[in-house]
Amino acid sequence: MTFRPAKAKVGVLVSGRGSNLQALLDAAADPAFPAEIGLVLSNVPGVYALERAARAGVPTRVIEHKDFASRDAFDAAMDAALREAGVEIVCLAGFMRLLSAGFVSGWAGRMLNIHPALLPSFKGLHTHRRAIEAGVKLHGCTVHLVTPELDDGPILAQAAVPVLASDDEDSLAARVLAEEHRIYPLALRLLVEGRVRVDGNRAVVDAPGPGEGIRNPEM
């Protein structure tokens, strides 16, 4: 009998429709994928991402940020929910809240974000409009490890698309989104398989070696 190690359990933080969540759910449905989605947590009730998770049979939680007096208190509640669910890796998928330094520190090296631009360019919001206004010829998306600085941290994967003369914000966003759906599961696989080595602010992708990986063999 072939031994199959347990899959890494992933928690996904969402605030909206959850198209990148769907990409992760679809990837995790493959028996060969090394991670499973163990919890989808939203700070907004009733969003479509929660419906996507329910359809996939994934547990969901809603923790509304407005119910807490401070960002630290809200983040502590999220942290407790993730750990209670046995989550080992956190993925941000359209989560529209800034995270406290304490929360980020607690998941250092184990939290991914996807940003709709080729970082370090166009950090923050309205990336597609700003790319068109800047006249760049290439735009895209980035998956990176989360650090306390906004849209910063070692980059695991990027994908580029051309910016066409006929593009408006919506057409460019749609082309970038297709690439987001492709590279987010790829970056998660790299992290889970222990193929990411952080050197300063650089993420170097290595071939996996014996015993490597983010997972504790005793977990």
Which of the four pLDDT bands, split at 50, 70 and 90, describes residue 212? very low
- CA dihedral over 57, 180, 4, 145, signed as positive or negative: negative
Q: What is the pLDDT of residue 6?
A: 86
Which of 98, 85, 81, 214 lies closest to 149 in space, CA to CA?
Answer: 98
Q: What is the pLDDT of residues 18-29, one digit of tens each?
A: 999 999 999 999
Cα torsion through 41, 182, 114, 172, rounded to 10: -120
Active-site residue, from 65, 115, 139, 144? 115
What is the residue-averaged pLDDT of the chain?
A: 93
Which of the four pLDDT bands, split at 50, 70 and 90, describes residue 43? very high
Residue-range domains of the chain with CATH? 8-197 (3.40.50.170)
Q: What is the pLDDT of residue 211?
A: 42
Q: What is the pLDDT of residues 49-61, one digit of tens each?
A: 999 999 999 999 9
Q: What is the pLDDT of residues 85-140, one digit of tens each?
A: 999 999 999 999 999 999 999 999 999 999 999 999 999 999 999 999 999 999 99
Q: Is 139 a catalytic residue?
A: no
